[in-house]
Structures are given as structure tokens and as C-alpha cells.
Amino acid sequence: MDRLVYLAQLLRRPVVGGDGEVVGKLVDVIVRLRGHDYPLVTGLVVRVGGREVFLPAEQVTDLDRDKITLASPRVDLRRFERREGEVLLRADVLGHRVIDVADVELVRAYDIELEQRLDQWVLTCLDTRRPPRLRRLLGGRTARPDWRDWKCFEPLIGHARSARARGPFARLGRLRPADLADLLEDANRTESHEILQTVHADPELEADVFEELEPDSQTRLLGERSDAEIAQVLARMRADDAADALNDLPQSRRQPVLDALPSGQRTKVLTLMGFNPSSAGGLMALDVLAMAGTSTVAEALRAAGAARALQPQALTSVYLIGEERRLLGVAPLVELLQADPAARLEEVADRDPVRAGPDTDVEDVALLMTDYNLLTVPVVDDEERLLGVITVDDVLDAVIPEDWRRREPAPHPAHHPGEPALESSPHDMPPGP
């Protein structure tokens, strides 16, 4: 029958040799992460005299809340040195915060459950419910622990070489950029560095995450990087977001970062920085799908399907342009899907579309979008030349009050063991010791 023990009970318990003599006291339990499988206990850290030594799991015959029993009284007294890939449960997990992937929040691990399966011990569950003060003072368990499957969490190990052994994404790959940004804003310095280390494995995702960060968090996290590293992130961001991020950097760092940008992105950023950040020109996306009015509907749809470099929010319409990029009309993609493929764009497009100038206040753009039920508004200069397009998400980012951004987000649906979104739990709630 499988057995359960709890780390909080094991710590500082005597370690007894095969002859019954006390060898030392337990300091920590070492596990090895195994991807989607439960972490395997590979050894113990035991204090013997004045030093901490390593005991391999094969030498342990029993883990019990009262004592840990060894197969032999012989112990290698060489001082313990942590190896790559080793996770220390007391030092790295117990009392530390982990990422609750299902609820997208940082929670603290107050206890750790170990389960014996055949002749091995594995880490199966975490208790993430804060113990009441009375429970701590009395040393009892007066409140029911919140035991949840280890597979619901992503640990923040802190030890760089051990964190690398976990793999490039692990469970964080399930989260959206906005979710990762929320975690970064709640994380402390050490936690945020580890989350960013993981995200850095995918440069496109990293750029998306920085786009979602609040300006103060974005500036703080970018400010800890070199000019070249900042430029690498900004090069993959939308040009309007990159311009905002650059403007928020200290004056002394803007030009070096700008010089390190690829020429194409640098040109876009410089263009946007020439406008008021709260105007249509400062918020617009420069890349749009623009075609001649004589193009057919079928050609426009093929061009839209191939326009993978454009942000999806800006790809709601095809813009008809004439000489010197003068705006002649707008054809929403939905209408093109319903039109005759052989028809010309100028036959199906709105030839007098709603538009805004680059100096138009964002609040006025919001009113235009509301009055005409628009997702995008083209931005044109005094000569009616198409400069870019402002999207509804850019407008919302600009007009939502700051105190609304800071309020508590809506709660996530309650987690339930066995939900298909996560691997099923080995059991619903293990009994308390």
C-alpha cells in the first residue's frame, strides 16, 4: 500500500542507521524534476556533526514522521555540494511561491506531500493554504490543508543551473502573454528573473509579454538589461509599443537603444515618436494591408491570408490606396468573404470611410469607434495619405483609467481535481497526519 509523509514533519527528525544509532538530523530532501511525471526523491541532506552530507535515496529504507531509517550506519562524510538538476524541497519550494498555472497566480507552498510508490518516493502534492496563526502557535492542524496536485504548479527554483534542467517552457507554455505579464507584476525580483529566463527561450513570446506589461514594470525590467538586450526585445515588439517603451526609458539610454535597433524598426519607432503618445498618430500601427482599388476580392483575400507579419487586430480590413498612398476606401474582410471573388475592391469598398488625423485625441477616436461600431480607424495626413491604423485595443489601453487597471482581476473558475485542462490528481485530498 502506498504511504504518505509530509516534509514539514520530516525536517529535523533523527536519521537512524541500521544499528539503531542516530547518525544525524534531516536538513532537506532532494528531488529530480522529470517533465510531466512526478519529481523523484533522489537523496537526503543530513546534518552530521557540524557538516551537511548527502545520502542517496537507495540508502534510505524508511521515511517516517518520527525518524528516517537507513540500511546501513555508514555515511559518506564528504560535505554536500549541490549538483545541476537537483531541487532541494526545503530550500527551493517549502515556504516559497510557486506558479499556480490553472489560476494564473503566485501562491506559497506551506507543506509538501511525498508518496511512496513501490520502492521509490515521489513528490505528489503541495499545500497552498496559509496556516492560521493559532495553528502555527499550537503546532496542530486546526484548518484543513489545501492539498493540490504538483502538476498544477510551476516551481520557481531560484538555483539557475537546476532551473535550466527543467526545460525551456515546462507548464508556463500554457499561459497567455497577458497572464505572464500579470505574474511578473506580482513577482519579486528573484521570481521575475526566473520567469523571464523561461520566457526568454521564445523571443517572440518575450516581446509579447513586454507589450502587456504596465509601463512602470516594463521600464523596471527593461532597465535591468543592456542596451543591446533592450533593443532585441523592442525589435520584436509592435512599433507603437516599442516607441512607448523607448520613451519611458531614462533619457541617457534612449539613443543607444535606438541605434541598436534594426533599421526598419528604428524608422518606424522614430516616426511614431514624432507624434503625441496619446494621439492617434502616437498609438497607430504603421503596418496595414493596402492595395489598389482595381485588385479583385480574391486577390485581397489571398493577400490577407499571407499577411502573417501584421498584427491580427489591424487586419480587419483592406485599405484601398491610390497615388502617393492616398486613401480611397476601406473594405472589411467580412464583407470580402461574402462578396463575389471576381469583383474589384473599388466596387465593394466604402469609398468615404471614417478616418482620423494623426493629432486626433484618443478620446475622439474612441467616440468615432463607438458611433460607427468600428474595430479600426485609418489615420491619414492633411493630404489624405494613409499613415497607419489605430485599433480598438490600442484605444482601450489608452482610455481605461489607471485605477481600473490596478483593481483586482475577476476570479478564475474554481479548480477541481481531474479537470481535463491539467493532468488528473492522484487523489482528491490526502488525510492530514
**Domain ranges across the chain:** 3-152, 167-274, 290-402
The pLDDT tens digits of the residues spanning 372-415 come to: 999 999 999 999 999 999 999 889 888 877 666 555 555 555 55
Q: How far apart are CA 86 and CA 241, in angstroms?
A: 39
User: Tell me, what's the pLDDT at 163?
Assistant: 56
- Give the predicted TM-score (pTM) of the model: 0.78
Upper half-sphere CA count for residue 167 (Cβ side, 13 Å): 12
CA 236 remoteness from chain centre = 17
User: For 67-96, what is each residue's pLDDT tens digit?
Assistant: 999 988 788 888 999 888 899 999 999 999
Give the pLDDT confidence score for residue 399 in this predicted structure. Answer: 82
pLDDT at 179 over 50: yes
Q: How much is the pLDDT for 428?
A: 40
Four-residue CA torsion sign, 111, 115, 121, 123? negative
Same fold, 167-274 and 290-402: no
Cell of 358: 494623426
Q: To the nearest 10°, report the CA torsion of 188, 190, 196, 199.
A: -100
Mean pLDDT in residue range 183-192: 92
pLDDT value of residue 423: 43
pLDDT at 422 over 80: no
Render the burial of 148-173: b for 16+ CB within 10 Å, e for the rest.
bbbbbbbbbbbbeebbeebeeebbbe
377 backbone dihedrals φ, ψ, rounded to 5°? -135, 125
Q: What is the pLDDT of residues 126-154, one digit of tens each?
A: 999 877 654 454 454 445 567 899 999 98
Under the banding of pLDDT at 50, 70 and 90, the label for residue 50 is confident
Q: Which CATH number does 167-274 carry?
A: 1.25.60.10
Count of Cβ atoms closer than 10 Å to residue 315 Cβ: 21
Class of the CATH-defined domain 3-152: mainly beta
User: Tens of pLDDT along 278-328?
Assistant: 899 999 999 999 999 999 999 999 999 999 888 888 899 999 999 999 999
Cα dist from 405 to 213, 398, 401, whole Å: 11, 11, 7
122 has a pLDDT exceeding 80: yes
Question: Quick one: cell of 256?
Answer: 543607444
Q: What is the CATH topology of the domain spanning 290-402?
A: CBS-domain (3.10.580)
